[in-house]
Amino acid sequence: MPGAGSCASSPRLGNRALVPSGLMIMKAPHLVLSEQGNGIRLLAIDAGASKTVAVLAEANGAELARVRGAGAHVGLLGAGVWDVILPTAAAALAEVGAALVPEQLHCCLAIAGGEHVAALAAARAASPRFGCLQIISDGLAALSGCLGATEAGVMVAAGTGTVAWARSRHGEITKAGGHGFPAGDEGGGAWIGLQLIRHTLRRADAAGLDPLADAVLDRFGRDIARLHAWLTIASPADYATLAPIAFDLAVSSGSASAILRSAASELVHLAERADPSGELPLIVTGGLAAPLRPWLDETTRRPIRTTADAVIRGALSFARGADVPIGAPALLSGCTSITGRIVTPAGVVTGELRFRRSIEEVRPGPVDEDAPLILPGFVDLQVNGGGGHDIMVGDPDAVRDTGRFHRTRGVTTWLPTVITEAADELERVTRSVAAARADRRPGEPDMAGLHLEGPFISAKRRGTHGPHTAAPSWDLVSRLHAIVPLRVLTLAAELPGAIRLTTLAREAGIRVQLGHSDATYDEAVAFFAAGGSGVTHLYNAMSPLQGREPGVVGAALAHAPSAQIIADFIHVHPGALRAALRTIPDLFCVSDAVAAAGMPDGDYSLGGIHIRKQGDRVSNTAGALAGSAVPLDVAWHNLRALGLTVADATRRVSTLPAQYLGLTDRGALQSGLRADIVVMDDAGAVNRVYVEGEEDHGPATISPGRHASITPTPAASRPPPCCQHRSRHPPDPAPRPRRRP
């Protein structure tokens, strides 16, 4: 292979010379630069602790050149990673006779050390201005490279360090490990090196070196003092250089084989932490995947496959702006860029948000005074209807149109919610949700599953639910769960069998919430102790807080790990909302919207029950509340009216509900997460909404007849009357309330 000296030129970036040094260049044969993609090329970089690999590719993913350089762990180098990465990238371009022009490259940097947040931020701030840039963890890139866009499995990346990522059959992504050496990275090259050092020092203490310790000590000139000095300066990559000794002596040394068996066991344990079910296939990638395969096969009964180059494959997919394996047909599209006040996990940042299907970067900079507010997409975990549509009708089109209506109000992920009915009717409605999910179009909000709000509820506290309440039944839950993933289950804790169902549902990955319940305080506390994860529409349809019997409300305020609340200032008084905010840190909002949401005053239906909308209030014929007419964007404004900061209000309609469901790929505006984005104009109205980078320009379909007794006026793109009066917010002082309490 040609060495670094064969490069035709030394490209430059600005006034920085990019002279490749000590690089190994691997050129793909018979490939030349083409003009596909308007001259744009892909640059995928796998920056690990031991080595950096840069791959230059055409817009369709066809590899042109591959270069190997020094390691670039961001936790050790911070902004200095570019001093390693840029020469490596320049060498790849020089190999095909091209100069490094960052503006013509769509780059994905998959880097080790993503847990070092400050160092990662420094690296991002120092990055060149590529045409598009994504900086993601090498583990996330490996997951994409191993599993593509949709495959379920658990991926363990085993190189110098280790990390595991899993994607469930329901699409939920979880991570385990990746905490860095020496506290983490168990089973990786650095970990193996550390075990070799420990073995050697123990044998030296016993004055009886075995062949394995002998081989390790040879690396240090058989000088223990020299080894001790090395330990004070050694990096994880240095430890990993010792790992080949174990493999070389694995046949002849029982100690070496035992260390490798332990490494394989650590990788399997890592996979089990990411996938406790043990049901997903195991894919092991990275430099240790093939060498450790014999010991992996001994350690687990899971189906295993090993693969190489997963990080690069995943990085190329991200660079193309597609979460699909390289080789699938896709056109390279440019980044979308929005300038404004960007709500990030660290606070509100002025500047530019760049994205395709996922967030590329937040680039700080000046903005105009009337710049829009840019937020992560809202996540609504309780939606009965909206825009004139009722989920309980059991029509897939009504389900999709409900989602499209809520998209106009900023919702990008939602749970269609099914209320109390007979079992066969619940199954019919659930099948309609399944059909709607299967027919979801680009730009439509993601139906993450189903919220089953009935029938396991108290007859006394059923509110505007039908009369078909039932005893908790795992048989019914499992039948519905097989049709559509049940993400949330509401039940009354006082019912016989409620605790057992809570346990079974938790084991199936379902969040179980206490709601529509007349439980005593003690019964509610027992529910949380058994694994109950939250509360459905706190304060409403539950036994109240009293001095001598605190009821469900008292138990929730004292013990609930999380709770949902309807912040329309109708269901819950602002003072009660403040109390919940003080006592339940992970309190978040749901709309509990019904068909009347976004519609004129008039008569509507909720699961066949007559309801009436008057102003922002929806009630049944008895005058009791019957769901909400206020979408989640109004709840956000109401939280601001209580004095919450922009960031905290956003956290309670986006980040917390996403985290509650385990949806780690969304809920915040940061690099690598889904481009689910809400843009509010300077008057506070939802102006644009992106779902995975797609903007759905079609209007929400409003139902005029089936669910309403009047012909409503189609909803405009502006907020309903309860929102239109608001003047523009200052950045963080509390705005005027949305409605008077």
Q: Residues with catalytic annotation?
A: 592
Of the candidates 677, 644, 731, 740, which has an alpha carbon nearest to the alpha carbon of residue 369? 731
> Phi, psi (5° rounding) for residue 170?
-95, 5
Q: Which helix (H) or strand (E) holds 610?
A: strand 609-614
CA dist 25 and 94 (Å) reads 10
**Element counts in the chain: helices (H) and strands (E):** 23, 34
Task: Output the CA–CA distances (angstroms, integers) from residue 140 to 110, 154, 180, 438, in the order listed.
Answer: 8, 12, 15, 26
Return the DSSP state at 328.
B
297 Cβ neighbours under 8 A, 6+ residues apart: 304
Contact 640, 735 (CB under 8 A): yes
First to last CA, the chain: 75
Beta carbons within 10 angstroms of residue 303's beta carbon:
10
**169: CB partners within 8 A, 6+ apart:** 152, 280
Backbone angles phi, psi at 659, to 5 degrees: -65, -35
Cα distances from 193 to residues 97, 202, 251, 255, 454, in angstroms, run 40, 14, 18, 13, 55
The number of angstroms, rounded, from the C-alpha of 295 to the middle of its chain's C-alpha atoms is 32
Please tell me the distance from the alpha carbon of residue 651 to that of residue 729, in angstroms, as a whole number: 18
Distance of alpha carbon 204 from alpha carbon 224, whole angstroms? 9
The crossing angle, in degrees rounded to 10, of helices 396-407 and 423-438 is 60
SS3 sequence of 3-64: EHHHCCCCCEECCEECCCCCCEEEECCCCCCCCCCCCCEEEEEEECCCEEEEEEECCCCCEE
- The answer for residues whose C-beta is within 8 angstroms of residue 376's C-beta and 6 or more apart is 343, 650, 654, 655, 666, 667, 668, 669, 676, 677, 678
> What are the tokens at 5?
């000296």
Cβ-Cβ contacts under 8 Å for 46 (sequence gap 6 or more): 52, 53, 54, 55, 110, 138, 141, 311, 312, 315
Q: What burial letters (b/e) apply to 6-16, b meaning 16+ CB within 10 Å?
A: ebeeebebeee
d(CA 408, CA 421): 29
Residue 494's contacts (CB-CB under 8 Å, 6 or more residues apart) are 458, 517, 518, 519, 520, 523
